[in-house]
Structures are given as structure tokens and as C-alpha cells.
Amino acid sequence: MACSVHNHHTTSWLFALVALLFAETLAHRSNALWTNRNSSTPGVGGGSSSLQVPARRCRPEHAAALLQLKRSSFTFIESSTGGCLYDNTTLSSWIEGTDCCRWESVACDRISGSVTGLDLSFRSGGINGSGLHPALFSLTSLKHLVLDGNYFCGTQLPASGFERLTRLEDLSLQFCNISGAIPPSFADLHSLKTISLALNNFSGSTFPLWITRLKRLKVLDFHGMGLSGTIPSSLKNLSRLEFIDLSKNELHGNIPLSDGNVLRNLRSIDMSGNSFTGEIQASIFTQPALKYLDLSFNCLSGHIEEFQNPSATLRYICLSNNKFTGAIPTSFSQLRALTDLQLDSNNFAGTLDLYPYLMLRNLSSITASNNPFLSVSADDRGESTNNTSITELYFASCSLARVPSVLKYLPRLYYLDLSNNSIHGNIPNWILRNMSSLHLHHNLFTKVGQFPAYTFIDDLDLSFNKLGGLVPFPFMAWELDYSNNKFSSITPLDFLRMVRVTPSIKLANNKLSGRIPYMECHQDYNLTILDLSGNNFSGSVPPYLLKGCGNALEAVNLRDNNLNGTWPDEMGESCYLVVIDLHGNQIQGRLPRSLASCIFLQELDIGGNKFVDVFPSWLGNNPILRLLILRSNKFYGPLSIPDGKKNHVVATGYFSGIQIMDLAENSFNGVLPTGLFDAFKAMRMVWVDYLLDSGLLERDAYFSGLPYSASVDVAMKQQYMRNINVPTDLAVIDLSDNRFSGSIPKAIGNLVDLHALNLSHNAFSGNIPAEFGRLSNVESLDLSWNHLTGSIPPAMASLTSLEVLNLSYNDLSGSIPSGRQFSTFPSSSFQGGNQGLYGCPLPVRCNLTRPPSGASAPAPPALATATNQSFEAVILWLFVGSGYGVGIAVSIVLQMTCCGRHMNNALEKIASCIA
């Protein structure tokens, strides 16, 4: 488990620690100044002294500087055009003629009346505008300056001016939308104890060398700034440093702080999210003050040696996502203050003995997942191993062959992940007690018992095992995943009870049969995701799954069963369905027209059924419908555009969000409407850009947390590709095996984001549109088995992404374009009909100067004939993300050549990741 995504149970104290460390140097002094502005100056009649010195009024020149600063400061108002607008209405107490020492956000010295503190952070009204006004630098007595959370609209800090603030001890400019370079004038601030420029855009800037000249520095916070380069070894000379955060930058090289002799005062180190290399010295774990250490998400490597005199203060260690090798030091188990140990996603080897860690009474979490050469063991010493502090253990992908029995002596173990191992046999009954999250997926378990009475579990994942028999249901749950097992039966009453209380139930790819338990529509159940795909359910679909019913259901997947009947005509008025997958059943009838009321619908797959209907043009009004699969049904008629939209398809957004449209293997006919493809806006740009351009981003984000993906087959020709994490701009059109006629619309050439186009096995005539030369992203193009004439457009030779081309069985003539991708296509891309074509790669002479006599191409054969062609399947998994967290696994049939450029690139990337 990566440190950056660790759950809130282990990080709540972490935020408190970081806040404490930062506050001790900033807030301890600053807060006292702006909350007790009338108290005595330290050393001159302090709070416990009987001598009180009257507070002096603010110095006039300082008041004038502050008023000038106010006049130049603005409160940010978001512009509808995305620009920066400002409103000068903040800092209402800053009134000319009044004592500025009593103004909000201002602190003064009681003796001199000089302004010593200024907090203009977002918590105090703010100073938003186009940059810092020079008046700020006339306040030369400033010791504390906090400008966090302001909005400087991407401007740079002034190159000069800060050098005048020589008394400055605390400087904080976090999250101010500053860009450019870090001013070199900061080097003259020799009194600085705290500096934070975090969460600004200093991309292109290297780590500033002048930092090492600030000998009094205690807090250095440069996280999330885009810094590059290396850290100078002289950084270790900052002997007073207590807190350093350089996380989420682009730094590389060695970490100079691994020399234990210079870390005597360091309490927190965060170098995560960079590209640091090399080894770390084990002495870093012996420092007397260190509490927090995060070196995750780097490229650190080598062995971590054992160490003597372990730190008595170190609580949190995160070394995740590096390249450490060798054994995990047993010395870690001697860190008595340790609460969290995160070692996942490395190359640690050997055996991790849990027993010594059970003796650490503060330890709450160990993460060692994704160390493929590591095993975990623990001696079962009975009640002596009882530990009441450990709540989380993560040992996924650790070559485990059994469940460590010592875990049953951890009464507060609530989060356990043993997934992706080789554990076989029965799931122990004790492991089902008290768990909040239990992940045992991708193992070899064969049996699981029933849950103890009144068991509640947030997240249970038993998928990809060999479990059979009756599906066990806890009393209550939040997420259940039992998919890809051998379960054969469910208790209807238990199933319906879970439907009412469990948001997510996944039972895909088991051996369940019979009818889906029936229940009428209710508005009082919590079911959001239901996946029963890949089973043998029969009968009709219960109404609560397809009618909307005003409930919370968002994704329903019933594909690849034996369901029949019809789709109920009436949908609920409040339909929240996002994903509907009924592919591969025997459902018949027509689509309910009330499905148009499901305004959040993004993916509809009803392929492989017996629907008899015309093209559902009424679905075109939904601007976020991304996927429409009607393949292999009995749809008929033309692809008509409603009368009211014929001349306004673009303006009215007719199917404007569609990205995958598969209408293959039906009985559609007629001429394709010229304007149909003009409206396919999402096929001309990236999905997020489409949402922004259409003003749909907020609507899209409504279901952004839906953690679900359904498998969808989009057949293209000869091969299937299943991929994971396809970009949301994937665009596919398949109109093959229908009866379309007439010319191919030129507007298809404007769909520049189209990746695959299949118009084969129709009756299209005329020329291949020259506009197809604009399809710069197309990878598969199949126009075979039509009546196309004329020559191949020369511009198609510039389609450098094109890997698969099939123009066979047409009546094309002329020279085949040469060069680039066309030199990689086999002769089968052109053979069959096309008697007038000549040139490579046809078997006729490549240097032929005149075309041979041609003959008409044969008529398209029946579909059954096409299925005789042999092919080889290439399967990869790919989720087509919808921008909502709702995705689909798309399987696209593409003809791939063994030396295809994209396939080679993909294999190289996979190999590099594995390495």
C-alpha cells in the first residue's frame, strides 16, 4: 500500500504531527503576536512581570505602508471566462487614522510600535492580486510573514525586495499560485527559522543552493513545487533543522541526510515522490529526535543494514515504491515507538518474522505488499502473542502459502490484505470476525464457512479463488466481491437482505443458476452496483434492476446469462443508472422509450440478444452517453435523425458524447445521414475537453466515485483486444454486417480522434472519401466487402497510426499508395476483387506502369462465410475510463501484424515495468 494513499486510520495522527512540528516554529510565535498584540515585548515586562509597559501606537510610516498594501490588494473572484477578477473589499479594519497595531492580521512590538508580524493568509481575508506590492518591503522590522492560500494568478515573486527584511524569522507562501523562479534575495534572510514555498509552480527551477547559508533554519517546506536537480551535500550543515519536506518534486541523485551524524535535531523528513537514487545509511533509523520518515516513491536501492541503538522516538517509516533488496532488517522490530511501517512495492527478500513486531505495543500497521521474493512467518506461541495495538496488516503478493495462525491473537486487527498469494485450503473461521476490510482475492482457497451472527464488514473481497457451494453473506456489508469462484447457490432471503443494505455486490463468473431473486421496486435499499455476469441465471429480469425505481442503483451487469423476457416499458422517474450491461442473453422486444429519462446513463450494452426495434434515435439527447452497443440483435431500418434535429444536429448535441458505437450484425439499411457524424463531438477531442467545452464537467463528476467496470465486446475483425485503462478518448465505430448503401459520408473524416472504423460487409458504393486522410489517430480501418470504386486516396499514406487495413473485395483501381504504413500491409489487405489495383504489395509486379484489366468485385458474402476465416486472439485488459470512475473493459477485434509498431511499443513498456 503506497504511503500517499494510506487510509485515514493510519494517517490521522500524521497530519497532527506535521502540524505540530510546523506550528512550534511558526504559530508559537506568530499566533501569540496577533492574538495578544497588547502584551509586553519579551524581556521588557513579560506576562509574569509586575512591570507593564504601555503599548506604543503603530509607527506612521508602517501604517502608511500597510494602507498602500491594502490599496494594491484584492480579493479573488472567479471569472466566468476563467480569468482573474478582483474585488478590493478585504481588510475592513485597516482604516486610515487608527492604530495599525490593532488592525486584523497585524502584530507590533510594544516598545517601538514597529510592525513585526503580518498574517494575510486565506484565513485572514487574503491579499490576492497580480503580485506583492513594494510597500511590503518597507516593513523592515517584520519577523513573521504568512501569505498562505493567496492567489497571485501565476505571477512571479519580485527578484528584489525580500533582502530588506533582514529580521524575518518565519516566511510562509504556501499555495499562492506563484510561478517562475525562486528569488535569489532570499539568500540574505539570515534570520530565517521557517520557510515554506510549498504547492506553488516553480517548475524548471533547481533546488536553491543558498538554502545552506541559512544556518538558523529549523523548518524547510518545499513540497509540491516542481523543483529539479540534486540536493547539495552541504544541506547536512544545517544543524538546527527539525522539519524538512521536499516531497512531490523532480529531484534526483543521493539523499545527503542519510549521514546520521547531522540529524541530531531532525524530527520529520519527507522526501517522497521524487527520483532519488542510491542507498540510505541505516544510521538514519537511530536518530534521537526523528519521529517521521517518508522516502517513498523514489528509486532508492540496495540493502538496508542492521543498526544498533534504534531510535526511541521514530514512529512512522515509509519506504514504499522503491527498489530496496535483501532482507528487511530485524532492527526495525526494536523501534519501540514505531506505529507504522510501510515497506510495500520493493524487492525485499527472505522471511519477515512477525513475532518480534507483536511485542511492539504502539505498532498499529505493517505494510509489506508487492515484495514478490518476501515471505511472512510467525511462531504461534498462544496467548503470549496477543497484541491489542495492531489494526492493519498488508501482505499482498508476498509468496504466502498459508495464513499465519498468529493473526488470530490480534483482537483489534480490522484491515487485512493477503491477496495475490498462493494460499490454499479453507478460509479460517476466526478471520471472519471483527474485520472492517478483508482482501483474500487471487488465492487458491477452496472453502469458506458462514459468517458469525451479526457480522458487519465494510469491504470483503474473496474473488479469484476456488470457493464453491453456498454464497456466505454477512449480516451487513458495504462492498462484497465473490466474483470468479465456483459458488453454485444463494439463499434468496439472504440475497435480498444484502440488496437492501449493501451498496456493491459482485458475483460475476460463478456457477449460479435459477432465477434472480425477485423483489418489487423499493426506494429504501442501498444497492448501487450489482454484477451477476457470467453465470447461468434464467427467467426474466426483476423490475428493481431495470426500472430505476427511484433507488440508488447505478450499475447493473447481467451479461452472459440465459435471461429472457422483455425490458419493462416504464422506467422510474428518478433513474440514476450509469452502466447497463445485458450483453449475451435472450431478452427480446423493444427498448423502453422511457430509458431516455436516465440522464446519467453513460454505457449501454445490449448486444447479443433478440431485441427487435428501430434505431434508438431518442437516446441521442443524452450528452454523456459514451457507449452504445446494439450488435447481434434484430434492429432494422435506417439510422434516421429526428425531424427536429436534421438541420441542427451539431447545435442540439445529437449523440455528441458518443465514443464507441457498435451497430454490427443487425438489419439496418439505407443511406447514412450526412449530418449524423457531424454531431459526434467527443470523437473530435479528448473526453475531458469535451466535458469542459460542453459545460458537463459537474454532471460528469456526479458519479466520479463509482468503482466499477463492465466487460464489453466490440467486434471488429479477426482478433480481440482487451486492454486496461484505455484513455477516455478511445473512439470506435462499427457498422459492419448490415445493409447500408450509398456513399460513405465525408464527415467521418473529421472524427480525428477515431481509433477504429469498420464499415465492412455492407453495400456502400462510390469512392473512399479523400477526407479519410485526416484520421490521424486511426489504427484499424476495414472497408472490405462493399462496392467501393475509384482509387485509394493518396493522403491515406500519411496515416502513421494505421496498423490494420482491409480494402479487399471491392472494385478499387489505380496505384496503391506507397511508403510509410502502406509498406507494412500484406497483400490480403487489397486482394479479392479490386482487379484494377496494382503496385506493391500485390503479387503483380511492383514496378507495373499501367493497371491490369479489372473486373467487378463480388457481392458481399453472407456473415456465415466470413466466419470461416481463421484468426489468432490477442488479449489484453483495458478499462475505458469514463471520467467518473465508471469504466468498461473494451474488447476490440483488430487485425494485428506481428511486427506492428504499437504492439512492439506496448510490449516494450510492459517489459520495462516488470523490470
In this predicted model, what pLDDT tens digit does every residue of 619-640 receive, in sequence order? Answer: 998 988 989 999 999 999 999 8
Question: Which DSSP letter does residue 278 get?
Answer: S
Pairwise CA distance, residues 706 & 696, whole Å: 17
Q: In this predicted structure, what is the pLDDT of residue 520?
A: 75
Query: Any idea how long the chain is?
Result: 915
Pairwise CA distance, residues 93 & 90, whole Å: 9
Give, in words, the CATH class of 11-42+54-253. alpha beta
Q: In this predicted structure, what is the pLDDT of residue 681?
A: 85
User: Integer distance in angstroms from the first to the last C-alpha of the chain?
Assistant: 20
Report pLDDT digits (tens) over 230-265: 999 889 889 999 999 999 999 999 998 766 556 789
CA atoms within 13 Å, Cβ hemisphere of 387:
27
Pairwise CA distance, residues 96 & 348, whole Å: 66
Three-state DSSP at 816 gives coil
Contact between residue 635 and residue 615 where contact means Cβ atoms under 8 Å apart: yes
Domains of the chain by residue range: 11-42+54-253
Return the axis-axis angle of helices 27-35 and 8-25, rounded to nearest 10°: 70
pLDDT under 70: residue ranges of the chain = 1-54, 73-89, 123-131, 258-262, 379, 381-385, 522-524, 548-551, 572-573, 643-653, 685-710, 712, 714-729, 844-915
Q: In this predicted structure, what is the pLDDT of residue 214?
A: 95
Q: In this predicted structure, what is the pLDDT of residue 8?
A: 41
- Look up the pTM and report it: 0.82
Q: What is the CB neighbour count within 10 angstroms for residue 54?
A: 10
Closest CA to 297 of 279, 315, 270: 270
Single-letter code of the amino acid located at 739 = R
Q: In this predicted structure, what is the pLDDT of residue 569?
A: 79
